[in-house]
Every structure is written in structure tokens, then in C-alpha cells.
Chain A
Amino acid sequence: MTATPGTLPDAAGHFGRFGGRFMPEALIAPLDELERAWRTAMAEDSFGAEFDRMLREYAGVPSLLYDATRFSAHAGARVLFKREDLNHTGAHKVRNVLGQALLAKRMSKSRVIAETGAGQHGVATATACAYLDLDCVVYMGEVDIERQQLNVARMRMLGAEVVPVTTGARTLKDAINEALRDWVTNVDDTHYLLGTAAGPHPFPAMVRDFTRGIGDEARGQCLDLIGRLPDAVCACVGGGSNAIGMFTAFVPDEQVGLYGFEAGGDGIHTGRHAATITAGDVGVLHGARSYLLQDEDGQTIDSHSISAGLDYPGVGPEHAYLAETGRAVYRAIDDATAMRAFAVVCRTEGIIPAIEPAHALAGAMELAKELGPESVILVGLSGRGDKDMHTAAAWFELLDGPDTRG
């Protein structure tokens, strides 16, 4: 059994037994309104044309497919990078925010709210709102605000209001809760621009549709470059927007292996990780049934990862479905393994990746050994590493002075 894009989710937002809507009734009508607007927009050529124009003229999309020959020599297989790190704002996220912000305009919403963990989705949302003249409020955990001062400054520079979240663990999951509370209160004029392919229907499908250009482009670019499809496609998985954007075009190509790499943190055995599919259980969080990290009573457990973008205790429901049906394989890469791959790609290619795709690059290095030197592996290089230099400097002890490793 395989998923076929366009047929999933079902009308109620289910991917098999995953997905759906587990939300207060007050938000069901707004979710219905959003779904109608999204389906209508996607059926109109004019919306697609405007989305494409913005991506092309403003965001630097389509991104390059890069034949990483020196990294390949090191890894032992031919590895191709999909260079989403070269997009405006430095990651694949610009695709989702431009799509949703354009939809918000069409829905005559004047205000956009978003959650952010490390600040990347917040910065991307603030960017799209400045570009499209929308008011922007970003919810960010108090703990994250302290850790990510630079991104807080970027959001404020772009005109967004950053609201500290002081409840719960004061990190990403609590920022999502707070954004949902704002949305239910202000839904008449407000669009909730969710940052990943999770949440209640239609978010997982809608975010997939806005990010699937990654895989659509890469598939065509791969055929142009080598005359065949890759043997394996690799992407990192936190909430899963980058991975679902990369995988979707390849789902019908059954000969292409799909590999999602989750954050193994300190190692699965330590319990300090964010490997939701690999080591979590099925449950309901933030509006959908999927895998999540939870205790015996169903209380959410805090996740841990060196990569802020993967540090989330849930995952999008379509990934849960792809895992359960066996169409995609999910593995965990721990912090140390990801950071080794991070260093390799810096030294062999002169590319400083974000720590999120360093997990996918580490996964590609593992796969190269399994698939052999004749294999071709496509990797989603989903973002650039400028934002991570503080973390990398501490990890590799690059700077003089007291150890700031966190």
C-alpha cells in the first residue's frame, strides 16, 4: 500500500489512521474556512501563477541541484544536494510562508500569527508579512527568546511583534499552544501561519502542497543531470515540512527509497532526543493523531536536540502514515553524528549547512555505505548554517574564552 499524492488525506484530513482534527469546536469553522480558501486557490491558475512568481522573483526558487563531488568521494556514493539553503531567508521555509501569506491576503485577513522555536519560522513569517503588508505577531517561548536573541532582533527589524510565552516548558510546543489560543480569540481577522506540516487538517496537506516544489524541482533536475531517478532521497524530519516537501514527488516512484532522519539528541537510549517516529508512540498532539513523545499518562515529554529546528515532540501525520505503510523509512541521527557530518560538508564543499540538514547528510553517509558506490543519493539541504554558528563554535571549541557549549 502506498500513498498517492492528490488522494490523501481523505475529506476529513486523515492519512490512514493519522491526522484528522482534534481541536476545540470553536476552531472547526475557521479550519473549514481555511480549507475552502486553500482548495479554491489551488484550483485557480492565477493563485499558482502568483505563488510561482513570488518564489521566482523574490525567494530565489527553483533552488539549485548540486553535484557534491568532494562530499561524494568522502561518503562513497554520488550525493546530490538540493540547495534550499540558497533561498531567501536561508531555508525551505520561505515556500510555506509565502504560500500561506498569499492565502491570508486572499482571505482578507489583515493579521498573521505564528509560533517559532529557534526563530527561523518566525523570521520567515515576519519576512512574508513585510513583503505582503500584513501585521505579524510571533509567539516564542521565553527560554528560546533568551537563546536566540539575534533572531528576535531580526523579527523585530522586519516589523513583527514577538510575544514571550511563559507557560509550560516555555519552548516551541508551548508557543504553538499560545498561537492556537490567540487564533481562537481573534480568528475573524487573523490567519495562523503554522510552520510545519503538522497540526489539524488542512495544515498538513496545505503545507505539503506549498513545500512540495522542493521534490518536484529536484526530481526534474535529477533526471536532467543524470538521466535517471536517485536510489535514495534523504531529508531531516522535525515537524516534517522539509521532508514532506522533498518526498511527495517521489512517493509514486517505488524504486526510490525515502529516508527521514530524526534528531537522536544525546542518543535514543538516554531519553533525551526528538526522534518521534523512531522512539515515540501514537497519540494526539496539536490537533492531529500522529507519533509523539509522551509519558505513560499521555503527557507530552520535552524533546532534546542540538538542532532547534528538529526539537519538537511531535511530527506531521503524513510522515506517520508513510512510516506505518513502509513507504518511507525513519531513523535517528544523534547530535555527535550530525555534527561530524556538519564538519565534513563544510570542509569538502565549502558549504556551511544548518544543523537540521546535517542530520540528513549524516544519514546519507550511512546510506552510501549500505547502497554502494554506484548509488545516487539526493539530500535535502534544507537551510544554511549562519544561525547555528554559535552552537557550532561551542561544539567544536572554535573560539577563545570560556566554554559556552550548551
Chain B
Amino acid sequence: MTAGVAATLARCRADGRAALVGYLPAGFPDVETSVAAFEAMVDSGVDLVEVGLPYSDPVMDGPTIQRAAEQALASGTRTTDVLRIVETVATSGVPTLVMTYWNPVERYGVARFAQALHAAGSAGLITPDLIPEEAAEWHAASDQEGLDRVYLVAPSSSDARLATTAAACRGFVYATSIMGVTGARERTSSAAPALVSRVREVTELPVGVGLGVSDGVQAAEVAAFADAVIVGSAFVRCLLDATDRSAGLTAVAALAADLASGMQRSDASVSW
């Protein structure tokens, strides 16, 4: 039985550390390798997995994830493949969320997709281009199937929007650390700590921080103030840059281990 997102985050919290969340697009570079890459992540210390559903028009993603999604689609990855990958990854016992743009869900049928997620053992959805105001159907379906729903908040979000968006979340709140798209950056965002503390004023839910974290040092900086550290593009790079499949998987495992080493807070009493 897979633990839930909330239980996993609570366990990390009790251990005095932040949770590590690893993202890869499903089916990149192909279905089989992508399953192996998720397994490598989990074996090397990722606490939560985000399975990306590759989409033709990913407006929130920078070039790295765009190219990976394109490759996944070009290799024939279908929505049903994504669900199969989720089912396999979820057997690892690590909570598995699906990150998806909205149209593929709407096309599959919102209620039907929620049922399929539940059946596959997924914990729920992260929806980068769905805001709670447009999500009545998803709220009903996620309640019905007991799925988490993770919405994004941004440095530009007003206090009122932070409150309403956080209230619609279940599992955790996804704080995008910068105004921009996904992609590894040389420095972590100075806007992230301020955003996280604004979110904490309006919710008891854990707060995950994503966008631009690429190594253990950066992850440790973010782990100092966030409950979860979300890494995507850096994992994709491991596979994009690798000369062959096994080198790619080795690189994924090494990155996961490096990032995981940064999760333990030096001061375990850090207040949050």
C-alpha cells in the first residue's frame, strides 16, 4: 500500500527534513527507460514522484522539459501509457502524483481520468494551467476518488488568491519560486522564502518549492525553508545528456542521492 502525500510529508517533517520530489515526463525517452528512471530516483532517496504527462503545448515549461515532452510524444507515448507507468511506479510505495496540463484530462474525461488515477494507485494531480476557479468538475471528481489536488502559487499571486488557492489544495501547495518557466538555474530564487512565508500565513498545508533547483547545494538552501523541494529539469538533463541508457540512469540516481543529502536540516528545530 502506497503512503499518501500528507503522511509522507508528515514523516519527513518528523525526521526533521524536507521531502524530495522528483519529476520526469512519462515516456521520456521511451516508456521502458522512463519507468527505470523513476525507480532509480526512488531507490536513491526521492520521497515523492511526479509523473509528467507529455503535452504538445507546455507553456509553463522551459526548453529542457519541452524537448523531453516532445521526445516522449514522438516515441508514441499515450495517456494510457502514462497511467500504466504511474501504476508501475506507485508499486514502489512512494506517493505518485501526475503533473499535467489540463486539456489531456478534459479530453480523457475528468471523472474517468480521476477513476483511472485512483485505480493506478496515483495520489492525485498537479495542474500547472488549471486554477481553482475553473476546476469545479475536478474538485468533484477528486473528492469522489479521494485524490490530492495540488495547485500552483506564484510570487505574483495576491494574498487573497494565495488564500483561495491554498484552500483548494490537498496534499501540499506548490510554490513556483520565480516568475518564469521550468529549468535549472545557477542560483536559487530570492523570491521563494518570501512566497513560502506568505503561503504559511494562509494555510497549515505543507509547502513545496519548485522551479530552478538543480543540485544538492541549492536543494539544501530550499530545504531550509520549504517542506518539499521539487526538482524536474535537472533530472531530465541527466537523461538528455547521457551517452547511453545506463549512463542516464546512473546520472539520475547520483543526482537523487546528491539532492537527498541536502534535505536534512542542519537545525532540525527550524520553525514552520
Contacts and interface: CB of A to CB of B under 8 A. Distances in A.
Interface of A: 12, 20-30, 32, 167-168, 173-174, 177, 180-181, 184-185, 187, 283-287, 294, 296-300
Contact of A168 (B56, B60, B79, B105): B56
A309 to B, nearest CB: 20
Given A23-B129, A24-B128, A168 B57 contact: yes
B78 A187 contact: no
B214 interface: no
Given A299-B55, A300-B56, A29 B103 contact: no
B73 A25 contact: no
Interface in B123-168: 128-131, 133-134, 151-158, 161, 165
Contacts of B130: 22
Interface string B42-80: 000000000000011111101100110010010000110
A28 B161 CA distance: 9
Contact of A294 (B60, B107, B151, B181): B107
Contact of A29 (B66, B105, B106, B157): B157
A25 B151 contact: yes
A286 B57 CA distance: 8
B202 to A, nearest CB: 14
B59 A24 contact: yes
Contacts of A296: 107
7 contacts: A22-B129, A23-B129, A25-B165, A168-B66, A180-B59, A284-B103, A294-B103
B104 interface: yes
B180 interface: yes
B59 A297 contact: no
Interface string B94-119: 00000000111111100000000000
Nearest to A292: B103
Given A26-B154, A283-B106, A297-B104, A185 B57 contact: no
Contacts of B7: none
A239 to B, nearest CB: 15
Contacts of A299: 55-56, 73, 104
Contacts of A180: 59
Contacts of B70: 167-168
Nearest to B82: A297
B156 A181 contact: no
Contacts of B58: 177
B122 interface: no
Contacts of B59: 23-24, 177, 180-181, 286
B120 to A, nearest CB: 16
Nearest to B158: A29
B191 to A, nearest CB: 11
B154 A25 contact: yes
B91 to A, nearest CB: 24
Contacts of B152: 24-26
A26 B79 contact: no
B107 A24 contact: no
A298 B106 contact: yes
Contacts of B194: none
A383 to B, nearest CB: 27
Interface string B175-204: 010011100000000000000000000000
A24 B129 contact: yes
Contacts of A184: 60, 179-181
Nearest to A14: B134
A297 B78 contact: yes
A176 B230 CA distance: 27
Given A26-B176, A173-B57, A286-B57, A298 B107 contact: yes
Nearest to A178: B59
A20 B103 CA distance: 14
A336 to B, nearest CB: 29
A297 B107 contact: yes
Nearest to A188: B179
B51 to A, nearest CB: 15
A297 B181 CA distance: 24
